[in-house]
Amino acid sequence: MTGDREKRMAMDEQLVLDGNAAGGLLAAAYGADVTSWRGRCVHCGTISVVATLRVYVGGPGTVLRCPVCAGVVIRIAETPTGLRLDERGMAELGPGR
Amino acid sequence: MARPLDWQLATVAAVRDETPTVRSFTLRLPDWAGHRPGQHVDLRLTAEDGYSVERSYSIASEPERGPDVDITVERIPDGEVSPFLHDVVVVGDRLEVRGPIGGYFVWEPPLGGPLLLVAGGSGVVPLMAMLRHRARAMPRPPTTLLYSSRGPDEIIYRDELEALSGAADGPGVAHTLTRRQPPGWTGYARRIDEPMLAEVLEPLGSETRAYACGPTALVETVANGLVRLGLPPERIRTERFGPTGT
């Protein structure tokens, strides 16, 4: 999680990382570190750990997609009035194994 | 006590060159509850006009060194953050930091082993935190690091890895150099593939826990290969960077 990511970011605005890298932003949105939480993709039913979601950054917001079907599960936008969180693509998100 | 999602001002306590293009920075945190090996911090730089940029950097140091944490940063010529860190930041400077962050790509002794750590390039950084912690903790499960670099000069922590592997109960360290090998090189000399994974996994056995960190293509190769070699997916943890499909 060091310089290579930054290089990709400069080269390709649609950088793909995983949910680990979005942990800080997610913590700001949820008020807790949710990288080890699990949720179910409403598109395909796959249960994933947040850390393994595909994360697309570089646009106006951050989009997290299901690693199996690539459906959008969580979106976070940073606005002048704060963070806007849309998690309609992720069911039963919570801690636990 | 600051929560992990709060920004705080860290002081740069030390700067150390690891390779010609990789440098480690020791950050002294005023309010630090400790971290788990594998976690990262976010760094935020803010320009005078208010423009700010954030990056995530894995913590390289072991928790025993808190409230100091080391990050290891590769200098990317066209990057926004790493040239600033390399060319401008000196001991005594202050940087905005939040963390520690991450509860998934983490190893601590109670999780047990044996451990197979697989790194590509700067992906070795969070695995180094695990190795450094392992060296100071008990129990100390059998551990092997398989580390892919382009050439000998690009091996991060080379001397320390050699020292660790030479110690009693030390980890096995297997290097592969994918582009340039020095004369007389006896390590691997190709990209990580399934036969290589099979060789390093075999002595560790089927109860192994695996952690793989590096570019997406390497991590996919490792995760898929280890599953085919019989490791259950839930014993394989990954952290990837870079675009898919390269």
B75/B24 Cα distance (integer angstroms)? 11
Nearest-neighbour CA in chain A from B105: distance (Å): 8
B172/B158 Cα distance (integer angstroms)? 13
Q: How confident is residue B182, by pLDDT bands cut at 50, 70 and 90?
A: very high
A2, A14, A52: residue with CB nearest B74: A2
How many alpha carbons fall within 13 Å on the CB side of residue B198? 6
* Minimum mean pLDDT range among A29-43, A56-70, B97-111, B112-126: A56-70
For chain B, where do the domains classified as CATH 2.40.30.10 start and end?
A: 8-101
B103, B104, B241: residue with CB nearest A1: B241
The domains of chain A are located at: 3-94
C-alpha distances in Å from residue B53, one per residue of B94, B184, B221? 16, 44, 31
Q: In this structure, what token pair is assigned to residue B82?
A: 């790493």
- Asked whether A61 and A74 are in contact (CB, 8 A), the reply is no
| Mean pLDDT score of chain A | 83
Give the architecture (CATH level 2) of B8-101. Beta Barrel (2.40)
ipTM: 0.80
Q: A51-93 pLDDT, tens per residue? A: 999 988 666 788 999 999 999 999 998 888 888 999 999 999 9
Averaged pLDDT, B19-27: 96
* Minimum mean pLDDT range among B4-18, B45-59, B92-106, B191-205: B45-59
Taken as a whole, chain B contains a residue count of 246
Nearest-neighbour CA in chain B from A40: distance (Å): 16
Nearest-neighbour CA in chain A from B200: distance (Å): 24
B5, B80, B126: residue with CB nearest A27: B5
Residue A20 and residue B105: Cβ atoms within 8 Å?
yes
Question: Does the domain at residues B109-241 carry the CATH identifier 3.40.50.80?
Answer: yes
* pLDDT in the model for residue B4: 62
